[in-house]
Amino acid sequence: MKQAIEQQFQALQDQICLALQTIDGKGKFVQDIWQREGGGGGRSRVMCNGEVIEKGGVNFSAVFGEPPEKMLVALQLEQADFFATGVSIVLHPQSPMVPIIHMNVRYFEMSNGVWWFGGGIDLTPHYVVPEQAAWFHWQLKKVCDQHDSSYYQTFKQWADDYFYIKHRQETRGVGGIFFDHLNTQKTGKTQPQLFDFVLSVGRAFVPIYAHLVELNRHIPFGEREKKWQQLRRGRYVEFNLVWDKGTKFGLDTDGRTESILMSMPPQAHWEYNFTPPAESPEAATLTWLKRGIDWINLLPLRSAVEQT
């Protein structure tokens, strides 16, 4: 089974990279194959200075061997081999009008028989367009509903809680879905059923992002919007380096730094105590960066979304 998962994840990386190159129209992914000393390795693929994507990483890895000490402690195990495979994506667009997107699917297995899936998709618009955020959540709900009617609500709330920048009291973006440690015990599903769900999430990524890019890529912008984009990228950096468990764990356990930090934006900006003017689009965006927004039932957005 783990071979099948690894192969499918690898194929997913291929499909996504090809599709993103088509969407971008100019940028090409450059591949970096790396090996892990303790076992396994990966294929990091990075696009720089595309037409749409300023810096984007699509990373595949499949690693195995003795787990780092911290992992054994966390799992309360004395000794066991592990296997982990996944695809991880962060895209930083050129235009501040196009949202940043993140997608991840992963599978983890221990030699003692413990296994689980994790993953999710979440969106970080520099400028929140509520109709688009609602549409995005609607797409995720459709994917989830095909597998279990409880998934969307559970995983949406999980994303709200996970992608939260505590020291700013802001969410990273408009959320999405996040899930981890999904196994039979926790979900009542078989391993193939859960794999099927995770693949659906991975395959939903391209059409969702393609639509959001198409809606926003031709919107004009100027210096003001670029500055705001860089300030929001600063928040993205803060979340990833201070709060993101995956990033911290990777850096703490001698993961491959350049692959882990592919998620960093090309440029970020910090300005002491920056506050956008009242009633500006920037201030409006901040009002949407809250946990617990019920995007699916946000009237009158719902009727607009249902027509799409």
Binding interface with a copy of itself (CB under 8 A):
32, 44, 46, 48, 55, 57, 166-168, 230, 234, 237-238, 241-242, 248, 251-252, 254-255, 257-258, 260-262, 264-273
Instruction: Work out how close the CB of 261 gets to a copy of itself at its nearest, in angstroms, rounded to a whole number.
Output: 7
> Which residue's CB is nearer to a copy of itself, number 238 or number 282?
238
Residue 248 CB neighbour total at 10 angstroms = 14
Report the DSSP beta bridge partners of residue 64.
83
Query: Is 147 marked active-site?
Result: no
> Which residue's CB is nearer to a copy of itself, number 81 or number 258?
258
User: 3-class DSSP state for residue 89?
Assistant: strand
> Which residue's CB is nearer to a copy of itself, number 57 or number 173?
57
Report the DSSP beta bridge partners of residue 33.
43
The C-alpha atoms of residue 279 and residue 203 are separated, in whole angstroms, by 38
Instruction: Work out how close the CB of 210 gets to a copy of itself at its nearest, in angstroms, rounded to a whole number.
Output: 23
The C-alpha atoms of residue 204 and residue 200 are separated, in whole angstroms, by 6
Q: 194 and 187 in contact (C-beta within 8 Å)?
A: yes
Largest CA distance in the chain: 57
> Which residue's CB is nearer to a copy of itself, number 29 or number 178?
29
> Which residue's CB is nearer to a copy of itself, number 145 or number 271?
271
Instruction: Work out how close the CB of 57 gets to a copy of itself at its nearest, in angstroms, rounded to a whole number.
Output: 7
Q: What is the CA radius of gyration of the chain?
A: 19
Is-cis flag, bond preceding 277, omega within 30? no
Instruction: Work out how close the CB of 243 gets to a copy of itself at its nearest, in angstroms, rounded to a whole number.
Output: 9
Sequence letter at residue 109: E
Instruction: Work out how close the CB of 280 gets to a copy of itself at its nearest, in angstroms, rounded to a whole number.
Output: 19
Residue 64 CB neighbour total at 10 angstroms = 18
Which residues are catalytically annotated?
102
